[in-house]
Structure 1
């Protein structure tokens, strides 16, 4: 009788495990709709001298250029699959990177050259491809000590690495980039450092956050702030004191699983305090889905419902934007926009 009870318990455990597995597999492939928020109008025609353009490249990746200097923020285009992220080891997918960068140059209407790469923090969906980009284009790479340790493991020369310690302004041509320490969104992957150089391939969990930065992008002799890049849905109270940005690129990954009270605090620190007039949501897309296939752009998908709820996020932030009379939009793959108009 005892063994019969054990058999029944074992059978019940198997059924529970199968049920949990089925639920996870269902939810990890169940996507909410893309929020119905405005996208920036596509610019048509040549750009004038001194005009700063930006193109969104998925997650929190951007190309920004004035025609003379092009900067990449958070170089990440390989976008490995869910199975590889969970169970495999990661490395650059060079053809995917090159295809994305070539389209970026076309969108920016610039020659294929990159002056600098800035990394907001050292998780793979922000850093993975940045060393390859820096090597290929002989660009400077800026980031935390964790970012630089990872880059050293990919043979980026020491004289191309700049350690951001927070608060200072780095100049790239007429661009002035201020790095403000921030906090990663409160997820299970927050924290940790890359203490020594590591070589690819690596497991996703080896790429620790390090220090996270918010970037304030200013331009010209008057150093007028054009945009604030907040890649992750976290913040340090007071980090925006004295910071003004008319445009905020607002990272929202994971925000839909957090409380409305947390969203309110995040919005207050990053949007209200900076006196932003235009907010574009970024880091909303499932970064295990490729950007392109056979040379054609693929539509971005929100994170699966198991991980996030973009419908909840967009609804609550839209209400805050309406309350504060701030324009809110959503950036889609390779959306381009003008950040200034001399």
Structure 2
């Protein structure tokens, strides 16, 4: 997340890994619409690599059929996605709660207190068994502690994410730390962690940098107490069916994504 969303334009060669398809764009701090949380559109079977695009009026939702069964993708706003396969739910950066930080009023306040709208989260995030976290800024991590504690979901993220969640009361046994390169088999789908980088503003920086190698002395209560803590991307592959590449920042490392061939790319972009 960047208070200033100005972003350099990547050279054309950097886009080759994402050339297969683009389902939607996760614009920085974009607010979800009613349609984005609605039941996902269903489509007939598509050839490998094809994208099932949502029909008019179903912004941010799509479904595709393949050998792994019926998979649906629902955009949760910002870079958040919900993926459902045969009753199993995987979440990526599930920031569902919305509260004002002053960002859109020109008075950004790093001391804004964290809060979770539990009813809203329950309604849109479902009962995940796995939660993937790209980095630890509030607009990616805010609702993860609540979801992890109420559903028992496994959370996959960086070491910083691990320490923050431990301080917020999540059972360490639920947490998996990755750096990029790991392939995790969850029986029916696999998750490949990809080392990545956070997007930058025109000053070549971003909000709340830093990493943690131990839990903070006190549990975070404000957005400034959630540092970025390194950034990951993920490729999720559903059996022999579709694969999706998910970005949590509007930048990536070309060397790390070389060779990936996702069927769908959820590409984070500057607003």
- TM-score > 0.5, shorter chain as reference: yes
What secondary structure does 1:88 align onto?
coil
Deviation at 1:201, TM superposition (A): 4.8
> Could you tell me which residue of structure 1 aligns to residue 7 of structure 2?
none
Superposed CA deviations along residues 290-316 of structure 1, whole A, max 9, x for unmatched, are xxxxxxxxxxxxxxxxxxxx4xxxxxx
Superposed CA deviations along residues 158-184 of structure 1, whole A, max 9, x for unmatched, are 111101121111122311110100111
TM-score by length of 2: 0.68
Closer/same/farther in 2, CA of residues 152 and 44 from structure 1, 3 Å limit: closer
Deviation at 1:83, TM superposition (A): 3.9
- Which deviates further from its counterpart, 79-88 or 202-211? 79-88
The question of 1:192 aligning with 2:216 is answered no
Match of 1:132 among 118, 133, 146: 146
The question of 1:180 aligning with 2:194 is answered yes
The question of 1:78 aligning with 2:105 is answered no
- Which deviates further from its counterpart, 242-251 or 231-240? 231-240
> Could you tell me which residue of structure 2 aligns to residue 156 of structure 1?
170
Superposed CA deviations along residues 211-233 of structure 1, whole A, max 9, x for unmatched, are 2111111121x4x5511111211
> Could you tell me which residue of structure 1 aligns to residue 115 of structure 2?
91
Superposed CA deviations along residues 189-223 of structure 1, whole A, max 9, x for unmatched, are 26311343245552222211112111111121x4x
Contact 2:180 2:232 survives alignment (8 Å): yes
Q: Distance in 1 between matches of 2:214 and 2:98?
A: 24
Q: Distance in 1 between matches of 2:251 and 2:263?
A: 20
Deviation at 1:100, TM superposition (A): 2.7
Structure having the higher Rg: 1
Contact 1:69 1:173 survives alignment (8 Å): no
Where structure 2 has 5 or more consecutive residues not aligned to the other structure, the ranges are: 1-29, 31-52
Deviation at 1:129, TM superposition (A): 0.8
TM-score by length of 1: 0.55
- Provide the aligned length of Structure 1 versus Structure 2: 206
> Could you tell me which residue of structure 1 aligns to residue 254 of structure 2?
237
Q: Equivalent residues in 2 for 1:1-342 (5 A)? A: 40-41=54-55, 42=58, 50-83=69-102, 86=109, 87-101=111-125, 105=126, 113-187=127-201, 188-189=206-207, 191-198=209-216, 200-220=219-239, 222=240, 226-253=243-270, 310=271
Deviation at 1:80, TM superposition (A): 1.7
